[in-house]
Structure 1
Amino acid sequence: MKVSLKWLSEYVDVAVPAKQLAHRLTMAGTEVGGIEERGNGWPGIIVAQIESIDPHPTACSLTLVGLGLSGERMTVVSGATNLNVGDRVPFAPVGAGLIDAQTGRPTVVEVAQIQGVTSRGVLCSEKELGLSEAHEGVLILPSEAEVGLSLNAVLGDTILDLEVTPNRPDCLGMLGVAREVAAIMEEPLHLPDLTYQEEGSDVRDDVQVEILAPDLCPRYSASVIHGITVGPSPSWVQRRLTAAGVRPINNVVDITNYVMLEYGQPLHAFDYDTIHGRRIAVRRATDGESLRTLDGTLRTLTPGMLVIADATRPVALAGIMGGSETEVTELTKSVLIESANFSSGSIRQSCRALRLRTEASFRFDKGLPPAITTLALRRATKLLVEICGGKASRGLQDVFPAPREAIEFRLTAVELRRVLGIDLTLAHIRDVLAGRLGFDCREDGSALMVRAPAHRSDIQIPADLVEEVARMVGYDQIPTTTLAGRLPDHPPQPMRVLIERLSDMLVGCGLQEVMTYSLIGRRLLGKMVVGKDAETPTGLRLANPMTPDQEILRTSLLPSFLECLNNNIREDEAGPRLFEIGRVYLPRQADLHEERQMLVIGMAGIRWQRQWSRATAQLDFYDLKGVVEELFDRMNLGETRFVQIMDQHPFHPGRTTAVYSKDVRLGVMGELHPVVARNFEVRFPVCLAEFDLEQLLSVIGGEFLQIVPPPRFPAMRRDLALVVPERVPVSELCEVIRYAGRPLLHRVELFDLFRGEDLAPEHKSCGIGLIFRSPDHTLTDAEVAQVEACIIQQLQRLTGARLRG
């Protein structure tokens, strides 16, 4: 919001320098982002009066303009066609600085020979003064501008660039800013006069207004002015619009923009004679309706959009932009002025759907108060009568189906001290709220009952009143105190603790953490496909993706993780050992996608860099399994089972296991399918593990790592050489041994695996070490032999294993 101090001074006396005012506004919560001194770039430019206009002796397109300059006369050559005798214009004599209209760069005026005539100065356009891009003619100054006075004294201004917060839509208008300044500086506020002569017919005979969507339009007001003349606006209106960054168009449109900047309430002017049936209906658009807006674009409307319609068609997008068929033109003789209040949510949705943002929609989507609609309408009608001529119809059409009574809040000095930490008397609080900010206050014992003024739609709860008092006292004046009171309890976050500890443990195992984007593209998903008939996995797609590679919420960490793994293989000869913890987004029928925390561990390539002292070897499944087992041991997970599975995409069939603990499936681990590996251009076998952290959290008991004292009694070891059918996995043998060897069996380990001609076909020999230990005594050979016999018996019965001879 650009605020002209010259314009602002009409409503409130500003007796302090601009920098001090900016500081006071900022300390009161309305930040001033910048200060522009307009006029500092006009050194030497003065006001001159045109006394004569004569034709150039040799150039028909030029004129000789005689200027009066405080007792002296000068003649300059000009090509402008908008000059008249008596006009007061900005004159840049030789040596004065201005902006070159051709290059846009600063320049200094020099003596010029133009078609044989010497010209010792320049009559300046708005572009040469840096006011706008207009260069069609010379800027005509107000008739009251004193001849010989510096242009800076006439047009110079200071512009404050306010960064208005979304909760203060009242400060999007000059009057709102003036109220802030008046409250801060404790100066009186001068409001515009809203009275005007009503000479036309009754407005109820001119137009009928009906609100068919009161939930989207709480209030709609309109006035009609007949017999106007459309033309350029007065210079003072144009200057103020230009200072605010708005381009002047014509007097009718300029007045609606002027009042919008003054009150913060957007308005729209219709050519009254183009309104069919003299009827205005505020309604939702119907399916298939369209409207050509003022920017010339034909827009297709949807039923959720709010439109302003006449008897037959939409004529405007409510709160956004008018239609071209009812646009005010030079031929317009009567106008209908609209001032309404619209639902901020409706405006935002329509703007987003149409990809259309305007100054009006910017204000409406902040939530304007309905009370200012008639005030802004009266102001606009008054200016139209005074500037454009014509006659205003009697009265206003004001449809307000459900007025809301202002909320009354209770505020005490105790509450204010609790929030701000300062002591203020009730009288002081009342002086701030009622005397300076215009709130309605009444005392109720030890409390104030407060109602906010109509223009303050941001006051919604009692804490907002405390904020108002703090703003007026000054945030920089509130003393700093130490916080007191009991800190709130920290809620337990077991998943966060699990993630942090997992990361630490995996880094301790020699892995590096990676982080990839939650959004992936179809290119990566296509690489996960095995076979021509397989379907590409899909997920929730973004409506407006930034790039094709980031358009779908991932349902697995694997696609982007594998790409990262491959990139690391290319960079380092030693195989990368990586892990990632992140969310995946799993689809659910008729519901939002489910977010789940997952862990992926991956490794590929050679086990270590080439060395002369040892042979190279590739990382394999058992390197990965060692990391997983170490992780589970540190998490105190207890016994885990590895069960071979055949159909887990995108893992290799027959080289993949599901991991269980307490009959809960934690995840899978194994080798990546070779087709997927080729798709990612990975030259080595890739070993992966993928775990669901929610399932993992459900089976963790107590502390992650338990510290126990070293055993007091020695262990006894027995080795078994078992011949078993090839189809029996070693994990099944170990599970049977653990169950049969309780409670004396301490550990089971596979130390040898043999296949050869000495064995029966489809059989293998497994060397398994059994370590026995008792926590309370030294074991005897008889005790161990008894348990060992039980183990052998169970192995023979359940797996068909026999001792190798």
Structure 2
Amino acid sequence: MKISYNWLKNYIDVTVNPEKISQILTDSGLEVEGFEKQQTIKGGLEGLVIGEVITKTQHPNADKLSLTAVDVGEENYLSIVCGAPNVAAGQKVVVATIGTTLYSGEDSFKIKKSKIRGELSEGMICAEDEIGLGKSHDGIMVLDVNAKIGTPAKEYFKIEDDYIYEIGLTPNRADATGHIGVARDIVAVLNTNDASTSKLLKPSVDNFKIDNANNVIEVEVQNEDLCPRYTGVTLSGIEVKDSPDWLKNRLLSIGLTPINNIVDVTNFVLHETGQPLHAFDADKIEGKKVRVGTLPDKTKFTTLDDKDRELSVDDLMICNDKEGMCIAGVFGGAKSGVSKSTTSIFLESAYFNPVAIRKTAKRQGLNTDASFRYERGCDPNITVYALKRAISLMKEVAGGQVSSDIIDVYPTPIKNFEVEFSFANCEKIIGEFISPVVIKNILSSLEIEILNEDENGLKLSVPPFKVDVQREIDVIEEVLRVYGYNTIKLPSTMNSAVVYRAKIDKEEITNSISDMLIANGFHEIMSNSLTKSSYYKEQDTLVEVSNPLSSELDVLRQSMLYNGLEVVQYNQNRKTPNLKLFEFGKTYYKKEEKFKETNFLSLIVSGNHHDENWINNGGQANFYHLKGFVDSLITKFGLNNLKFVSKDSELNNLAYGLCYEVNNKELLNFGKIDVSVQKQFDINQEVFYAQINYDVLIELLSYTKNLQYKEVSKYPSVRRDLALLLDSAINYSQIEAIALKQEKKLLKNINLFDVYEGKNLELGKKSYAVSFVFQDENKTLTDNQIDATMNKLVSSFEKELGAKLR
């Protein structure tokens, strides 16, 4: 949400610099995610002045050009060649003098003294689109005859520099969806921490009056649950036209495009008060009646963007006597909007059920400024004020007369929240004593009424615009955020209790794994659980989403793989091919109307194993790099009794891979992604993927013995190597299993350090070079012991694997 510094100043009676405002907002819970200086018009109209065309003659060398003499308040007139068809002597115009820079989007050009078709030109008479004041290029801007010659255009058009805050508004802060709400917090903080006595300045609506009753629109609310309050009034005799500059500038400053004076006022009041408004063309309201209710399921309705939408029976609609005019609180209809021919309007200011609006906006795929506020919970008590404020401004910019009484349908008024507040509880929660006087000032600044007080606490009446302040703890939070989190002094000591946990701490394990992977160059990713159903062959087991965010994201993922490949594709397309990624997440599965969630940890390695440098070219990542990371994880947690199973391309889209099982439960599988799968994502490099069943891992760790310290042996280890000639079908895991079976006590480590296939070997044979490390913790090993063990191993390899020594 964008907030304008210049706009804010209208509601605060003290001067505070923009940087301090930014700090106050963040410290009080309205985090400023971005803060920048902004010009309403790029360049700020610097170098542009008001001039008068003194003479106009035909250019001697060009039929479509004119020679003009222009008075800009200097000693001599400027000679300017002008191509506009509407230029004439006596006009007051905007002149770009020599040295002025004009902007067109991202492009710019500088006005220079030049000759055009042989005639001197000392500036430029400007059209509105050339200086950012509009889109018309039909001719030069012709100003009011009373415009003063030599006045800087910046001053004439009231262009001012501004500072724009991008606030990350949390869903609970419905009270701060407009400039007045934000200003309320600033005033409260200033009064609390800066000994200020500032006040919140709300625009007065005392000048509002009913002019006549010539255009009365009847209102009927058919569903009070969805619309607890509906307020409206008619304004007749208006002229729809462009808004004045001050109004345009306010909207432009926060990124809104001015439309016309009526619509612009509704947008202005929305961003001022946080209360959405909607203006209907009163002459298009059939039967002079507004009905607030629902329409039959699957009714077709065309919205302002000319899209035909299918309504739900639960979508609240604003209707006339014949048809729907607006999706309540979300988006207007194509037929009842304000146009240039509109002469009278019916202005709506209502309070709609937040839950209903949120569901409708999601169902229809619409996210508007109005729905953004309604679904958070607007102030039901501000509808009349906002209506009067808007009508007053409309009469100012569009003329007209109020031609009906204010209609206010409010059968069951929404009451304030009553809260009992204890000074002792406040001190206990915050950890510091805050004077009751300070507390009362904070609450009063936030418009929380004190009904009663005694030495122990307060009885409070909290207005409904504070939708998240309904309990004592909520009030304490309000006090603390205004008083200032940073104001609370840090204690000199900290007390804590050591708590023994019999069960394994899943979060601790997760953090430990994350730390290990990050230390090895991995980056964590967090992808969307929603994905495309087209990724999966088996559709019956997919968990479908009834209201997807898009037509493509229509199911919950069954595998972490496809999200990971999307990330690889995204980075590859942006010249970042070297990737090590990991993600913790859930997969979802449906079987016979029953649903299952499973937690997984996925790893992806692709591109170079590490960055290239002057001494190393980086080296392509391969299956064994990924296996090394996987084995490190297994070793880290002391897991054993793992069973290895080969994987083929039919499982998990792998061209080849391995699976680790424990007690007939699949712990993890990993391997190289098949080329056919990579082609779906236009990935042109090898991708290696591992998927760890995190639920099984946590279950295994829950009954695995804790790792214990083991003293480093003071006796030396001994290494022996074997070169074994084997059939190609035999894998290293078979050698490892036989060796550990034959010698469990002395054999500490086995490692495959070379594999050879090819020349000088029989067809279908390969050579494995394997090292064996032996050690006895109690004494030094002798050559006889080691030789005996090696002979036993060789005998086992020959007997069980048909191995031969090379």
TM-score, structure 1 as length reference: 0.63
Q: Which residue of 2 aligns with 1:587?
A: 590
Pairing 1:176–2:181 present = yes
Q: Which runs of 5+ in 1 are unaligned?
A: 508-513, 527-534, 562-579, 601-626, 642-648, 651-658, 671-676, 682-687, 708-805
Q: What are the superposed Cα offsets for residues 599-634 of structure 1, whole Å, 9 maximum, x if unpaired?
A: 99xxxxxxxxxxxxxxxxxxxxxxxxxx9xx99xx8
Q: Measured at CA, do residues 696 and 212 of structure 1 come closer, stay the same or move farther in structure 2, by a change above 3 Å? A: same
Is residue 2:244 matched to residue 1:242? no
Aligned to 1:122: 124
Partner of 2:432 in structure 1? 422
Would you say the 8 A contact 2:601–2:691 is kept in 1?
Answer: no
Q: Which residue of 2 aligns with 1:376?
A: 386
**Amino acid in the other structure paired with 2:241:** G
1:80-91 aligned at under 5 Å gives the runs 90-91=94-95
Structure 1 pair 231/26, CA: closer, same or farther in 2 (3 Å)? same
Query: 95-104 vs 515-524, which deviates more?
Result: 515-524
Opposite residue 190 of structure 1, the aligned amino acid is L
Tell me if the contact between 2:3 and 2:165 (Cα under 8 Å) persists in the aligned partners.
yes
Residue matched to 1:409: 419
Q: What SS class does the counterpart of residue 340 from structure 2 fall into?
A: coil
1:15 aligned partner:
15
CA distance in 1, matches of 2:498, 2:140: 69
Q: CA deviation at 1:217?
A: 2.1
Note the alpha carbon deviations across 1:223-267, whole angstroms, 9 max, x for none. 101222222222222222222322222222122122222222221
Measured in 2, the distance between the counterparts of 1:382 and 1:394 equals 14
- Structure 2 counterpart of 1:432, one-letter code: I
Residue 349 (structure 2) aligns with = 339
2:766 alignment partner in structure 1: none
CA contact (8 A) 1:409 1:451 kept: yes
Number of the residue aligned with 2:448: 439
Structure 1 Cα separation of the partners of residues 560 and 26 of structure 2: 49
* CA distance in structure 1 between the partners assigned to 2:675 and 2:398 by the alignment: 77
Question: Partner residue of 2:746?
Answer: none
Pair 1:196-2:200 in alignment: no
**1:260 partnered with 2:270:** yes
Contact 2:293 2:319 in 1 (8 A): yes
Change (3 A) 1:599 1:398: closer
User: Match for 1:200: what amino acid?
Assistant: N
- Closer, same or farther: CA 147–264 of 1 in aligned 2, 3 Å: farther
1:116-146 C-alpha deviation (Å, 9 max, x unpaired): 5x44223445544456656556567799976
The 3-state SS of whatever aligns with 1:260 is helix
1:337 Cα shift? 0.7
Per the alignment, residue 49 of structure 2 pairs with 46
**Structure 1 residue 455, shift from structure 2 partner:** 4.3
8 Å CA contact 2:128–2:140 kept in 1: the answer is yes
Q: Matched residues in 2 for 1:188 and 1:692: separation?
A: 56
Q: 1:701 to 1:176 in 2, by over 3 A?
A: closer
Partner AA of 2:542 in structure 1: G
Matching residue of 2:470:
460
Once residues 487 and 134 of structure 1 are traced to their aligned partners in structure 2, the CA distance between those partners, rounded to angstroms, is 72
Alignment partner, residue 312 of structure 1:
322
CA change 1:228–1:446 in 2 (3 A) is: same
Closer, same or farther in 2 for the Cα pair 1:79/1:598, shift >3 Å? closer
C-alpha change, 1:474 and 1:695, in structure 2 (3 Å) is closer
Q: Percent identity?
A: 27
Instruction: State how far apart, in whole Å, the 1-side matches of 2:272 and 2:512 are.
Output: 60
- The residue aligned with 1:748 is none
* Alpha-carbon distance between aligned partners in 1 of 2:18 and 2:667, rounded to the nearest angstrom: 69
> Contact (CA 8 Å) 1:53, 1:66: kept in 2 or not?
yes
Shift of residue 308, structure 1, vs aligned partner = 0.9
RMSD value, Cα: 5.6
* Structure whose CA Rg is larger: 1
Q: Structure 1: which amino acid aligns with 2:35?
A: G
- The residue that corresponds to 1:469 in the other structure is 479
Structure 1 pair 465–457 and aligned structure 2 pair: CA distance change class (3 A): same
Deviation, 1:336, is 0.5
**Contact 1:266 1:363 (C-alpha < 8 Å) held by counterparts:** yes
Question: Structure 2: where are the runs of 5+ without partners?
Answer: 191-195, 518-523, 566-582, 604-630, 644-650, 653-660, 679-689, 710-806
CA distance in 2, matches of 1:496, 1:36: 46
More displaced 10-residue stretch of structure 1: 408-417 or 588-597: 588-597
Amino acid at match of 1:91: V
| Closer/same/farther in 2, CA of residues 120 and 307 from structure 1, 3 Å limit | same
> Residue 238 of structure 1 aligns to a residue in which SS?
helix
* CA spacing shift, 1:525–1:207, aligned 2, 3 Å: closer
- 1:656-689: CA deviations, max 9, x gaps? xxx998xxx868999xxxxxx99999xxxxxx99
Amino acid at match of 1:420: I
* Count of residue pairs brought into register by the alignment: 626
* Structure 1 residues 557 and 100, CA gap change in structure 2 (3 angstroms): closer
Tell whether the 8 Å contact from 1:293 to 1:299 is kept in structure 2 after alignment.
yes
Residues 290 and 299 in structure 1, CA contact (< 8 A), matched pair in contact too: yes
Post-superposition offset of 1:355: 2.4
Q: Which residue of 2 is the match for residue 785 of structure 1?
A: none
SS in 1 for 2:384: helix
Q: What CA distance in whole angstroms lies between the structure 2 residues aligned with 1:689 and 1:126?
A: 60
The aligned counterpart of 1:104 is 107
- Residue equivalent to 2:579: none
By how many angstroms is 1:356 displaced? 2.5
1:331-358: CA deviation from partner (whole Å, max 9, x where unpaired):
2121101111223333333233322222
Structure-2 change in CA distance of 1:374 and 1:516 (3 Å): closer
Give 1:105's aligned amino acid: S
**2:542 is equivalent to residue 539 of structure 1:** yes
